[in-house]
Amino acid sequence: MPATELTFFIIIIMTFLELVYMKIQNKYLVEGLVFLSYVLFAMAWVGGAASMNQIMLSMEVDSLASASFISGSVTIAKIVGTFLAAWVSIKFGIKYAFFIAGLLIAIGLLTPFAPNYELLLISRFLMGLGGALMIVYFNPIVMHWFAPHERATINGFNAVAFNVGTAVILWSMTDINAISGSWQISLILFSLASLVLAFIWLFVKFDAPAANKDNVVAVEEHYSYSDGIKDKFNWVYAFTYSGLLAFYICLFTFFPKAGISQSKWVIGFGIIGTLAGILYSKKIPQRIPVIRWSGLIMIVTIYGLSFSQSATLQTLSAIVLGFFIFFPITALVSIPHELPKMTGQRITIVFSLFYSISYLCSTVILWLFGKMVDMNGGDYSYSLMLITLLSSTFFIGSFFLPETAKAKEQLCAATYQKT
């Protein structure tokens, strides 16, 4: 083992041993663990997808249907995982639910070792399940550790975590493989790092709800799956995001096959857009205007990316699109945090339904996209028009979402008074 790798390994072990004798109570360290855990999930996830050709060749599997089934099983894992996330958190508590998510992500360790297609399928499914659980738990963790005026910033950083991991792989996977020696070792290192972070997470201290001056602990209002399904907000919220999510998945699944190769520009400028969105949402309390106008720009730039005959205009559309897809995400994910009487249990169910409904809708949309391509003899024109139209849910949904600016100001004022 080279000296630099040995030094890095020793530092990790020493840090872990120090944590055995202490509890992690610094909220920024907690956020660092959450952020890095999801970055590593993205790296392992996208790294596995990027290495799928080598994986399938090593198993002597050359069926495109088999490769497609892996992608389909992952989508199912996301739908099932996000829907069950609230139940897991109620059963085990947020701390141990997040730990379970970390362990499932680390099962990606089996991917480069998988001796057959079935084990590969299981490892990818369980890894996707872990990622689906983890993304839901961002929100109750942020709500537990951060004051209302800090949440928009932290939500924004969490929103960019997957993009950071994806960008590392898209731009640097070849270099990482050259340093590690092979794609197998790279994937193993990603999974081992996820496993280390999962165990470090066990040392995060979650305090019980604080008592008031009369020594009475406030009891959170009960909010069940049934309540969530009856809540109109959850359906509007998921509808708003579903068309955009379908386009985003389609961008990496079908656009390259349609001869449109500008996806990496969307990812790169998506990171810039997220950072700009964090700064904007921190200064401007209104959430709906940035969602609405960004949604309108998305429709125009998706059309430009999909139908322009100029490669330069397509690239420019991808750059602007990447920025404006992620610019309003901080505002979007902050809305539930700013609703009146929001609790940890309720926000877990809200985001559980938000992601599961969105992924379910996007799965149907992607099926329709592929079906229309088949029906039109491989012509992508009608399917691209379909995804352009359906991406408008982000713009349309903004007319039905609540504006939380006043509620946010009142919540922040109440927090300052208590402190």
Find the angle CA(115)-CA(117)-CA(119) to the nearest 5 degrees.
Answer: 65
Which pair of structure tokens corresponds to residue 15?
């840090």
What b/e sequence results for 9-22 when a residue is b if at least 16 CB atoms lie within 10 Å of its CB, and e otherwise?
Answer: eeeeeeeeeebeee
pLDDT of amino acid 169:
84
| Category of 333 on φ-ψ map: left (φ > 0), alpha (ψ -120 to 50) or beta | alpha
Identity (one letter) of the amino acid at 285?
Answer: P
pLDDT digits (tens, 9 = 90+) for 275-323: 999 999 988 989 999 999 999 999 999 999 999 888 899 999 999 999 9
Check if the beta carbon of residue 139 is closer than 8 Å to that of residue 38.
no
Q: Which residues contact 201 (CB under 8 A, 6 or more apart)?
A: 33, 37, 95, 98, 99, 102
Q: Count how many residues are written for the chain.
A: 419
- Give the C-alpha separation, 100 to 123, whole Å: 15
Query: Span 66-71, mean pLDDT?
Result: 58
pLDDT of residue 399: 95
CB 137 within 8 A of CB 348: yes
What are the chain's domains? 30-201 (1.20.1250.20), 230-401 (1.20.1250.20)
What does the pLDDT look like over 214-262, one tens digit per residue?
444 445 677 888 999 999 999 999 999 999 999 988 887 788 778 888 8
* Distance, CA of 205 to CA of 213 (rounded, Å): 23
pLDDT (tens digit per residue) in 198-212: 999 988 887 655 444
Residues 6+ apart with CB under 8 A from 38: 131, 134, 135, 138, 158, 161, 162, 165
Instruction: Tell me which residue of 362, 302, 360, 294 sits closest to 331, measured CA to CA.
Output: 294
User: Which residue type is seen at 357?
Assistant: I
Global pTM?
A: 0.81
For the residues 163-190, what does the mean pLDDT come to? 85
Strand partners, 211: 217
Mean pLDDT of the chain: 83
